[in-house]
Amino acid sequence: MSDRAVASHADAPDIGSADAFGPHLINYGFEFFPNLIEYARGATLRDVDGREILDFTSGQMCATLGHNHPEIVAAIDEACRKALHLYSGMISVPVVKLAEELAAMLPAGLQKMMFLNTGGEANEAALKMAKLHTGRFEVVGLAGSWHGMTAGVSSVTYAAGHQGYGPATPGTMALPAPNCYRCPVGHCRDTCDMACVDIGFALVDAQSVGALAAVVAEPVLSVAGIIVPPPGYFQRLKAECEKRGMLLILDEAQTALGRLGSDFAFALFDVEPDILTLSKTLGGGLPMAATITSGEIADNCAAKGFVHVTSHVSDPLPAQVGLAVLKVLAAENINQRSLKMGARLKAGLEDLQSRHEAIGDIRGMGMMWGVDLVKDRESREPDPEFGAAVTRRCMELGLSMNIVSLSGLAAVWRIAPPLTIEESEIDRGLEIIDQALSETRANSVSRSS
């Protein structure tokens, strides 16, 4: 499968033609839904023909609080009446307030931050700080990871984007992802003794030129197929970093601010990163990101001339929205709601697994679940063709689903509805998945007979 096809399966419904909207849009790796969307509220989308679609993907995993949450809309309105954009050296009240509120939620070692636009940009800043602070340049990521498509972080985005663009950034290397369902080193089955860590760092040490700067990782690997590391994994990873004088960067684009039922995933995994990046869940559907680190690292980088100026660093509009996101997180008990609704979603998926042989594994946390589709449960061979067909049928039935199919090595639904979704909407989505699985299997059997 080409990198472009990987990106399509990673982040878009597998339907529609890239030419559906005429000659003026560049195909950036997605297969577009054929109808234009004109309305979005909560967990519901509506196209120009009036057809409603239930969203089990939170848009691009960003609309954590649902589409067009009233507090987000109010924050945008307030920013429009005050300030949208300023000279990058000017700081607005919302930026200071957002920094104060985030700092109050974070440990003492994560108190210095800058506000940017996307996760890719936040991760670029994190890598630059890690390199400047350590005086080294080698960066290690996890296989299957997704950290962004800009030049530096795309080099440690191992899910896609490596073919056809020339050399990656020098010094980038990969560790095996801690996939307990499909052990990357063929060592375990359904358990993990972390041989992947030992083998991975042995290979890193063999390749390193003595300039190891950082490991960057998602707490739960998303595009890799919702890979939840085993207990103790991140403590082991952090210890290996400390042995080599490396920083640990955790990319919480998808896992922070309620998605897993906690303010931050690193607290659930009992590890504190040296640098934390936030994005998708911080913006509530708007471009908003943050790079957060310690005073020691920030001061050392500043003394060495750290520069990461953009046209929209510290913009007041997204900061105002970020404040609204934190307000809703507390006021609507989003963490608790995520755990409650996630338990309902998990139970429904397990019921489907009991009745559909194609569901090999269900894994996740909070309101972030992966459904691994297989040809048979013993071999665990992925079934991307069947998965794509069921995903298309779900969309036809009014449910937006997202499947990742990395070069045929997996076929996993990433199910991450808005955290404000209603129980009835979860139940309706599960009913559609059930119907789509049954009908697609029946059609497959009919064609083969």
Active-site residue, 218 included: yes
Contact 153, 123 (CB under 8 A): yes
Q: Which is it for strands 37-41 and 44-47: parallel, antiparallel or unpaired?
A: antiparallel
Catalytic residue among 218, 272, 315, 372: 218
Active-site residue, 251 included: yes
Single out the residue of 190, 385, 13 nearest to residue 373, CA to CA.
385
Catalytic residue among 31, 131, 146, 337: 146
Q: SS3 for 170? A: coil
Phi and psi at 195, nearest 5°, equal: -60, -30
Please state, in angstroms and rounded to a whole number, the distance separating the CA atoms of residues 334 and 161.
34
Phi and psi at 342, nearest 5°, equal: -65, -35
Catalytic residue among 251, 252, 274, 361: 251
How far are the Cα atoms of 69, 73, 318, 417 from residue 324, in angstroms, in the given order?
10, 9, 10, 20
Helix and strand numbers, DSSP H then E, in the chain: 15, 15
Q: SS3 for 107? A: coil
Please state, in angstroms and rounded to a whole number, the distance separating the CA atoms of residues 252 and 361.
24
| Buried/exposed 434-443: b ≥16 CB within 10 Å, e otherwise | eebbeebbee
How far are the Cα atoms of 127, 243, 372 from residue 213, in angstroms, in the given order?
9, 12, 34
Catalytic residue among 136, 182, 393, 414: 414
Q: Which two tokens stand for residue 243?
A: 């042995």
The upper half-sphere exposure of residue 3, i.e. CA atoms within 13 Å in the direction of its Cβ, equals: 14
Q: Which is it for strands 172-175 and 138-142: parallel, antiparallel or unpaired?
A: parallel
DSSP 381: -
Single out the residue of 437, 413, 410, 416 nearest to residue 181, CA to CA.
410
Catalytic residue among 31, 124, 136, 254: 254
Active-site residue, 146 included: yes
How far are the Cα atoms of 138, 214, 244, 387 from residue 210, in angstroms, in the given order?
8, 12, 9, 43
Please state, in angstroms and rounded to a whole number, the distance separating the CA atoms of residues 84 and 81.
8
Please state, in angstroms and rounded to a whole number, the distance separating the CA atoms of residues 442 and 390.
11
Catalytic residue among 112, 280, 346, 392: 280
Contact 194, 239 (CB under 8 A): no
Active-site residue, 128 included: no
User: Active-site positions?
Assistant: 146, 218, 251, 254, 280, 414
